[in-house]
Amino acid sequence: MSINEERKILEGIAAGDAKVIKSFYKDNYNYIKGYILKNSGDDVDVEDVFQDAMIVIYQKLKSGTLEMNVSIRTYLYAVCKNIWRSRLRKKKKLIVDNDAIEANEEIEASIAEDIENKEREHVYRKYFLKLSDSCKELLNLVFDGNSMKEIANITGYSDGYTRKKKFECKKSLLEKIEKDPMYKELKITSLKE
């Protein structure tokens, strides 16, 4: 595949062009499927991993952090491989495929970090959505960088109650997250700052 063709594919993915994405999916699905099926996966796993890999690539394109020194196909394979290996490790079923295409160590480290961040975000979101509406509103205002005084004005709470409510909401969220089995594995520490 030429550099120009790859650039068009990347631009299409970034733009959310359904035709480009469908074509890319069709061209690469069996390539990814072979690896996952060979390593304890099934068709549902193939769909999930491929979809998650596309999200990783899309997010990196949109944020301008995608750095590739390999073909898009090799990069996709590396992303899928890392997602799948991460899931197998969690299930304790990792089977090493020595014949698999080995991606550059920098790419793998970057992808592994992206996967871990995505999983960390998933755990956070899962419990954030279970908070009361008032806690979600207050924490969103905090995360948006509003001061306690601004939050008090927006919510109509007193300054003291706003601080107390923030503490209670954050504590509730952390307690829920810490009970999740994924918590220890992901070592979520960023919320404790």
The CATH number assigned to the domain holding 31 equals: 1.10.1740
Q: Same domain for 134 and 58?
A: no
The string of pLDDT tens digits covering residues 77-129 is 989 999 998 888 887 754 554 444 454 455 665 666 667 677 777 778 888 88
Does the residue 99 lie in any domain?
A: yes
Q: Is residue 45 domain-resident? A: yes
Model confidence at 33: pLDDT above 90: yes
CB atoms within 10 A of CB 99: 8
Asked if 105 and 142 sit in the same domain, the reply is no
Residue 123 inside a domain? The answer is no
Q: Which two tokens stand for residue 167?
A: 């503490």
Domains held by the chain: number: 2
Provide the domain limits for residue 78: 3-111
Closest residue by Cα to residue 45 from 7, 75, 100, 85 = 85
Q: What is the pTM of this model?
A: 0.49
Same domain, 100 and 10: yes
